[in-house]
Structure 1
Amino acid sequence: MSQRQMLIGMQLGNGYGSQVTAWRAPGVAPRNYSDFDAQVRYAQAAERGKLQFLFLPDTPALSSDLTHEAPQMTLDPLLTLAAVARGTERIGLVSTASTTFMEPYNIARQFKALDVMSHGRAGWNPATTSDPNAAANFGGTIAERPVRYQRAHETIQIVQALWGSWQRDAWITDTATGRYADTSKINPINMQGEYVASRGPLPIPPSEQGQPVIFSAGGGDYGLTIAGRYANGVIGSTFSIDDARAQRDAAREAARAAGRDPDEIKFFAGIMPAIAPTVREAVERRKQLGVHTFPARVPYLGQMLGIRLTPDQIDDPLTPEQLAAARPSPFDPRAPRALEIAREGWTIREILGHGAIDYHPTPVGPASATADHMTEWFESGAVDGFWFSPDIYEDGIDTFVDEVIPVLQERGLFHTDYEGTTLRDHLGAPAQYGLDARTTAATAS
């Protein structure tokens, strides 16, 4: 068995799947959006596959056109994970929460309560929200990026300080003496930044892992600074091994620059597989999901290929003249793959059915195609693992767990059972309680 094992998380969102029309798929209850029991069932399926964590993206605004599409986020990520925590035992529970529009005390309290409730399985993805619709919900406007990231640094440090405001041995609960806690070990933090502040302490003792794990899903230099100083998990968006390796190396270098061991960071690439016994059947599955959305995507596919395409051509392959004129856009990393598929003779609808403009790479066909993609990227050193987005939760999770996971296990690339009980155990993340003195100094400098 390989000494190095890949890590796998799973996207959990609206109760339907990562494809915007999954709510209409056969076998899917169209009102799953408000069904927390369904979310628990999907989390249990992921846990059956021994996946290390669930990851819930979120934004504090409604950003979907509800005419034909379901919202992409869950009703509320923390409440969803609270329900999931009661129905699962091992899988990690990671959620996004905005540092732009949430106060550090609220974040600290909610996530540490989830961490205690789940016996040490919680993680937080701090997001510097840039959506004007979200700003409007809070009666504000979007600040410039340097301001948003400075507030993020302050928020993360205050949150971590609040998480450590009870010393590990402060909670006594001695019924014989009647002593509940040692109050000398539960202290205010009295932290004041330029944008946020908190006195503390929290009313919450440590969990089995001490405190939640920090994730990062932001890109660019600002996002790398967050990842390097605080994160143990980094969610990337990348469409090639070379780019994935560059992103992983950049995150590791950011950690090194912050005075941390680069091995404390694990890099996860997104993957959105289309799994069926054959490539044709997998494409047909995606075509059915895209009946109402694909026509509107045709012009953008044309932009990616540098040619004019219109919806009335959707069921035709590209003509020889179009193929000769096509040039993949240097500004869209998905374009070379889209042209490769087009050159195989697929129709425009089928090109879209291959996931040519999905947000992450889409291996298409039998489970072995997805396993091969994951194996190649992992063994090349480009990733530490993957963030898997099921197209339809109702059957896509079980298919991944029952067909892809066994292949990876047979190859010695994925574990057969959980080795620990906490999210830190699953990620191999070091113990931390309260602030990390290494990175606090770096931020102040």
Structure 2
Amino acid sequence: MPAEVKSRRGQRLDDSSILDITALDGSTTQAACRRSKNHNEEKESAGVAPVDGRTSHHVPYQIDGLSTFQESLRERGISEKGTDLILASWKPGTSKQYRSHFNRWAQFCHQRDINPTTPIVTDVINFLTETFHRGVGYNSINTARGALSLLGIVVDGCRAGNHPLVIRLMRGVFNLRPSMPRYKDTWDVKPVLTKLKQLEPLQSLPLKELTLKLVMLMALTQAARVQTLHLLVLKNTSIKEEAISVWLGDNIKQCCPGFNIQSVKFFPYTKDESLCVCRTLHTYLEKTEHLRDETGKKDGRLLISFIKPHKLVSRDTIARWIKHVLTISGIDSTKYTASSVRSAAASQARSMSVPIHHIMYKAGWSRESTFAKHYNKEIVQEGDPFQDAVLG
């Protein structure tokens, strides 16, 4: 090992030994290190193998990557309020997506006496290599790479994920284990629309069928994520003849400082009233008004359970509703999930020659390449459309 690397590693260990940070249980890191040392001596006597020639200090259930990052920010002199603002830059879904990689990185560094915020490129390469040999795919390793950059780790003057050696490693990962799109094709919306047309008249529909129809129509006409449908609220809803605007209770995934969607606008469909999302939404609001408690009539979420006591529903419930509609429409819901609605709706619009800029605006995509790479799929049609055209 080069002398400068040994020196850096020694400095890390020395630095970590003199830090005196209060732990969650009120003790200091020095005391925690002493407890960890005693604990490891017991485990070593029980036959625990060392890692890279050093005794393992790994205690899996005590490692939290986000807490480690939070402590590192405080060590840099950033105030508690400043730390909170930095952590608030990550949306809940982002934190959930990266948390496992944060934790593995913290454990990896803990085992090797590495400062998790100031690694060298060798540490990053070895961590990603270890992740690769866990048998995961390219996308998971790329997420781990992104997690290191998200933590603000800088190596040799550039973000950890953008280091030339890391980029070269990721190319090797792709060559050995290339990423594959989740869907190579998408389902035809026509069978679903045929099923939705049959759910009439609206006034006599049970609340379950009315809810299923509304959710699928909103998803199709907006190319909407389940998250978007889940965040729709009654507060400030604007109902006009030309459109219905429903506000969002929080930021959705594509929101950013330059693109902040605050409401979703639904337009009437006069060509076929049985597929009109505005008409269906009107009926849904009328049927559910008396089911909502007083506090939820104005500020509550739009979608509620069709089963007593008609509470607010989770995103998973809405996803199950969409999959149920796919199933009863004859679409293979074991292959296509609720998230496939975006690609199905966008691909159908593209096949009908809707301008790409309009599709991007509707779905909230800022780059045409996003649609082309992830959502523009071949539509799988039942039967033989050529034969139908010839014989029809």
Give me the TM-score of the superposition, normalised by structure 2.
Answer: 0.25
- Compare the two structures and name the one with the higher helix fraction: 2
Q: Which has the higher strand share?
A: 1
Q: Which has the higher contact order (CA 8 A, sep 6+)?
A: 1
User: Highest CA radius of gyration, 1 or 2?
Assistant: 2
Task: Calculate the TM-score normalised by the size of structure 1.
Answer: 0.22
